[in-house]
Amino acid sequence: MVHLTVPAADPSTPTSPEPAQDSSAEQSSAPSRAGFVVSKAVGNAVTRNRVRRRLRALVRERMTALPAGSTLVVRALPAAAQASYPRLATDLDAAIAVARSPRERRSR
């Protein structure tokens, strides 16, 4: 499971009494970040760390494709413990593609 947060194109106007600063230059140069959630359901500490290292290596290769300033959160499911490296790569690519696609509103 992957969550991707991309910075807004138009940052909101600050309401503080401080002088206005151009934060768009700071925001566009901000590096992309990634975080990992690997719960105990994945396995023992050795297994969780192995899954985290594999995911970190895969995400490192894909960070340049993400917009600057974006935040990526990867949650490993228990099946990740037995998955091969190429399978993790395929699943990660598919999850990032879904996260980057525009979301449609669900009707109630």
pLDDT of res. 98: 86
pLDDT of res. 1: 65
Q: 54 lies in a domain?
A: yes
Q: 16 lies in a domain?
A: no
pLDDT of res. 26: 47
Q: Are 69 and 32 spatial neighbours (Cβ–Cβ below 8 Å)?
A: yes
- The mean per-residue pLDDT over the stretch 78-98 comes to 93
Q: 19 lies in a domain?
A: no
Task: Find the domain containing 70 and state its range.
Answer: 50-102
Q: What are φ and ψ of residue 7, in 5° steps?
A: -60, 145
pTM, 2 dp: 0.72
- The mean per-residue pLDDT over the stretch 73-94 comes to 94
Backbone Cα Rg of the chain = 17
Q: 95 lies in a domain?
A: yes
E-strand ranges in the chain read 2-5, 33-38, 71-76
Indicate the number of domains in the chain: 1
Q: 39 lies in a domain?
A: no
Q: How confident is the model at residue 52 (pLDDT cuts 50, 70, 90)?
A: very high
Q: Please, which residues have CB within 8 angstroms of residue 70's CB and are 6 or more apart in sequence?
A: 4, 5, 6, 7, 32, 33
Q: 73 lies in a domain?
A: yes
Burial class (CB in 10 A: 0-12, 13-18, 19+), 51: buried
Share of the chain above pLDDT 70, in %: 71
Higher pLDDT, 43 or 29: 43
Q: 17 lies in a domain?
A: no
Whether pLDDT at 108 is above 70: no
Q: 61 lies in a domain?
A: yes
